[in-house]
């Protein structure tokens, strides 16, 4: 017998799961549209080279990749940003910048599974391409936090940790770490919450850091304020930029959600400036979402250098968090009318009534199962029907139906023609 389980690390979405997924996607889409973003998409299959050369070693090792029948190396996308870069480069001369684009792709990574981490997930991506000013950071972060608010998450639940890759480079310069080692060291630093201090020290030593440099790095990573870092590193433009960004986020109403955090790195190699992650205050889960500025990615693929910033927000961790906090909505199927024939003799008229309802813009589910009336009404309640139209023999012979309100359980006999005449005055407005 065939294995009936989904592939390890993947999910099936039954109707009740789809209702929840659609609820989440609707919040993402509404938020993106409110901020003036346009939706795009790309194929889940990409050239393996798109990721191997640009994203960083961690993603390279997590690719679902294979050779197709034409001998080409192909990968299932692990993230969307390289596809976005490819699409922009194809039409760079024709596009009107800045671009404000979003997508909700399915992504695949062959990684160790833990709570909140699977091998496939859907990810809301928002990117502003072609805008170097800090207003892009403010808009991107505001959109992200607005979506969290729409899910019922307040600043008591989540916090956005904010940093800048330029500051991390300054720290490593201060410690005497050679420039070529900066990115490998940052990849190790990104594992800070995943390994023990001893393991972290060993990994840093493997990148060439001396014990005194490891100790200095740990000391600096423990600094909680920009003022403390300025006392260590001196005045730097990046410190002023971070102060200004924090002030702007306070001004637009999100100050309570945001905190500076020198330890935030983000693992992808293409980040060049601002980086951020959202985490739950209880620290029970991995990062909910994250992103940053990637001003050099397009030029790395051979195009003109264009400033860009964006984030990725997966569906797995956020649903875990909302469940933990009791914030997941109870979502039922939603049908305007259940049309229930008493017997097979009323089946054809039930088909006609169902279609007339749909033509007026109402949803209708006709029950041709032949089940008894009591069970048919139970099923109508299960699918969330607001009303039931009962085609009973005597009433139907008089040109009437029984209209049952599924919420109040009241019933009334109504003439079919009068019933539809009343609906025509409010087409498509629901029952």
Distance, CA of 45 to CA of 328 (rounded, Å): 33
Residues 297, 54 contacting (CB under 8 angstroms): yes
Where helices occur in 263-404 by DSSP H, the ranges are 297-300, 315-324, 347-359, 373-382, 393-397
Per-residue pLDDT at 59: 74
Do residues 390 and 401 lie in contact, with contact meaning Cβ atoms separated by under 8 Å?
A: yes
**Can you list the pairs that 233-242 forms with residues at least 24 positions away whose Cβ atoms lie under 8 Å?**
233/170, 233/171, 233/174, 236/167, 236/170, 238/164, 238/166, 238/167, 238/170, 239/167, 241/134, 241/164, 242/162, 242/163, 242/164, 242/167
β pairing state of 335-341 and 364-366: parallel
Three-state DSSP string of 91-150: CCCCCCCCEEEEECCEEECCCCCECCECCEEEEEEEEEECCCCCHHHHHHHHHHHHHHHH
DSSP class of 261 = -
DSSP 305-344: ---EEEEEEEHHHHHHHHHHTT--------EEEEEEESSG
* pLDDT computed for residue 56 by the predictor: 54
Query: How high is the pLDDT of residue 84?
Result: 95
**pLDDT (0 to 100) of residue 171:** 96
Tokens 């039954």 belong to which residue? 14
Predicted local confidence at residue 52, as pLDDT: 82
Give which of 360, 369, 416 is closest to 391, Cα–Cα. 416
User: 354-380: buried (b, 16+ CB within 10 Å) or exposed (e) per residue?
Assistant: bebbeebebbbbbbeeeeeeeebbebb
pLDDT tens, position by position, 135-192: 999 999 999 999 999 999 999 999 999 999 999 999 999 999 999 999 899 988 888 8
Residue 366's contacts (CB-CB under 8 Å, 6 or more residues apart) are 338, 339, 340, 341, 350, 351, 353, 354
Give the pLDDT confidence score for residue 285 in this predicted structure.
Answer: 79
The reported pTM is 0.90
According to DSSP, the β-strands at 364-366 and 158-164 are unpaired
pLDDT at 283: 80
pLDDT reported for residue 268: 72
Residue for token digits 């980086």?
275
Question: Is the link from the previous residue into 406 a cis peptide, with omega within 30 of 0?
Answer: no
Residues of the chain with pLDDT under 50: 431
């Amino acid at each position: 017998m065939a294995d009936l389980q989904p592939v390890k690390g993947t999910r099936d979405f039954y109707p009740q799961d789809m209702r929840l997924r659609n609820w989440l996607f609707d919040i993402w889409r509404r938020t993106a549209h409110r901020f003036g973003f346009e939706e795009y998409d790309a194929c889940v299959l990409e050239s393996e080279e798109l990721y191997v050369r640009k994203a960083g070693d961690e993603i390279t090792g997590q690719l679902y990749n294979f050779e197709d029948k034409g001998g080409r190396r192909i990968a299932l996308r692990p993230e969307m940003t390289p596809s976005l870069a490819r699409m922009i480069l194809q039409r760079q001369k024709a596009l009107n910048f800045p671009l404000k684009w979003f997508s909700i792709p399915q992504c695949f990574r062959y990684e160790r599974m833990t709570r909140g981490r699977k091998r496939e997930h859907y990810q809301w991506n928002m990117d502003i391409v072609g805008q170097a000013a800090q207003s892009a950071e403010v808009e991107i972060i505001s959109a992200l936090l607005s979506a969290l608010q729409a899910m019922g998450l307040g600043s008591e639940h989540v916090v956005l940790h904010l940093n800048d890759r330029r500051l991390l480079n300054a720290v490593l310069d201060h410690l005497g770490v050679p420039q070529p080692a900066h990115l490998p060291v940052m990849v190790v630093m990104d594992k800070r919450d995943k390994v023990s201090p001893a393991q972290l020290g060993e990994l840093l030593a493997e990148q060439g850091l001396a014990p005194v440099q490891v100790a200095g790095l740990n000391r600096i990573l423990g600094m909680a304020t920009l003022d403390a870092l300025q006392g260590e590193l001196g005045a730097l433009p990046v410190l002023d930029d971070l102060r200004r960004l924090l002030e702007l986020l306070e001004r637009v109403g999100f100050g309570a959600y945001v905190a500076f955090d020198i330890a935030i790195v983000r693992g992808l190699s293409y980040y060049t400036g601002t980086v951020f992650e959202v985490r739950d205050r209880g620290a029970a889960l991995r990062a909910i979402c994250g992103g940053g500025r990637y001003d050099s990615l397009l030029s790395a693929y051979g195009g003109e250098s264009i400033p860009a910033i964006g984030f990725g927000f997966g569906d797995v961790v956020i649903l875990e968090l909302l469940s933990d906090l009791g914030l997941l909505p109870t979502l039922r199927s939603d049908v305007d009318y259940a049309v229930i024939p008493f017997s097979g003799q009323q089946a054809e008229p039930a088909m006609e009534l169902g279609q007339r309802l749909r033509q007026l813009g109402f949803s209708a589910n006709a029950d041709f199962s032949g089940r008894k009336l009591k069970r048919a009404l139970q099923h109508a309640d299960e699918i969330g029907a607001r009303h039931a139209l009962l085609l009973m023999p005597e009433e139907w012979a008089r040109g009437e139906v029984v209209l049952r309100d599924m919420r109040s359980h009241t019933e009334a006999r109504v003439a079919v023609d009068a019933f539809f005449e009343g609906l025509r005055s409010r087409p498509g407005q629901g029952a």
